[in-house]
Amino acid sequence: MAQLDYFVVDVFTDQALQGNPLAVVMNPAMENSALTTERMQAIAREFNLSETTFVERRSPAVERAEGVRVRIFTTQEELPFAGHPTLGTASILRMQAPETVLGGTVTLALNVGPVPVRFEGNGLFAEMTQRDPEFGPQLDRAMVARLLGLNLDDLDSASPPQIVSTGTAFAIVLLRSCEALSRLNVRQQEATAWLRERGARWFYVLAPAEETQQELAPHYRARMQFNGGEDPATGSAAGCAISYLTDVTQSRSEGDAGEVRVRRSKTVASSGSSAR
């Protein structure tokens, strides 16, 4: 059996054993050495983290033109895109394979397509450019509330739940309070089947943070329960949530300029009327 190099990295934090952990496996691309999809899935189950990535190096010319090939797996399936695996894998490549950095950017060739990750200075702070959002159907509020283990009046009455994708589709739900968010208890098995029928994978649930009154722009707390656990922080869902909040804000205003940001670890999003 081939021996593979791998790394475990904590994303959305600058402290070990915090943030969201990720396993990055260096998968040799040579014939008779590369892992099969089934083997990658088995390794991801063995790590038992929310995601595991597999880096498949190619020729320098191909990587310059298309990016470094990376595949992303949860313990149950392969994903077209996920946020913290993208940032974490790009960080490992920057440290272990500096030839993949071009102009301060590492581009990953994911199943969803090329995703550039930009680094600032000599540190590991990075920003990624997700795909433009695709807005799917709005969802029945009563059914969503039941699947979340909440009451109908816990949901924000002016913002219907909606499926949004920047590569992986989430059902974005805005609640009225953080107290309601603290009671989140997703009925995973039933919710998974219901969401898959509508083209999404998981719920991403937001609530306005208490400090909003002291802040110039609204802030939101977020939770995502999936696969029997809870993600401490997620980049792809946050991108979908930002797009949703921007769209909601624009529908309530006349398009004043604004900003949208995600704060690390706590995954607190602030929303204006436009994103940049």
Mean pLDDT by 10 residues, the chain (276 residues): 88 88 86 82 96 95 96 96 96 96 97 95 87 96 98 97 97 97 96 96 93 66 87 89 86 42 42 30
Tokens describing residue 54: 């597999």
Looking up tokens 């205003």 gives 253
What is the C-alpha separation between 3 and 9, in angstroms, rounded? 19
6-128 is classed CATH 3.10.310.10: yes
Domain ranges of the chain: 6-128, 134-270
Structure letter (DSSP) for residue 191: H
Tokens describing residue 263: 């704060």
Nearest to 22 by CA among 56, 55, 52: 52
Please indicate whether the domains covering 6-128 and 134-270 agree at the CATH topology level: yes
What CATH architecture is 134-270?
Answer: Roll (3.10)
Which residues are 105's β-sheet partners?
102, 118
Asked if residues 58 and 29 have their Cβ atoms less than 8 Å apart, the reply is: yes
Helices and strands in the chain: count of H runs, count of E runs: 7, 16
Asked if residues 87 and 70 have their Cβ atoms less than 8 Å apart, the reply is: no
Of 31, 38, 46, 51, which one is the catalytic site residue? 51
pLDDT value for 268:
35
pLDDT value for 96:
95
What is the C-alpha separation between 4 and 1, in angstroms, rounded? 9
> Is 51 annotated in the active site?
yes
pLDDT value for 84:
94
Asked if residues 92 and 9 have their Cβ atoms less than 8 Å apart, the reply is: yes
Asked if residues 161 and 152 have their Cβ atoms less than 8 Å apart, the reply is: no
What is the residue type of 213? Q
Residue 215, helix vs strand vs coil: coil
N residues, the chain: 276
What is the C-alpha separation between 231 and 51, in angstroms, rounded? 10
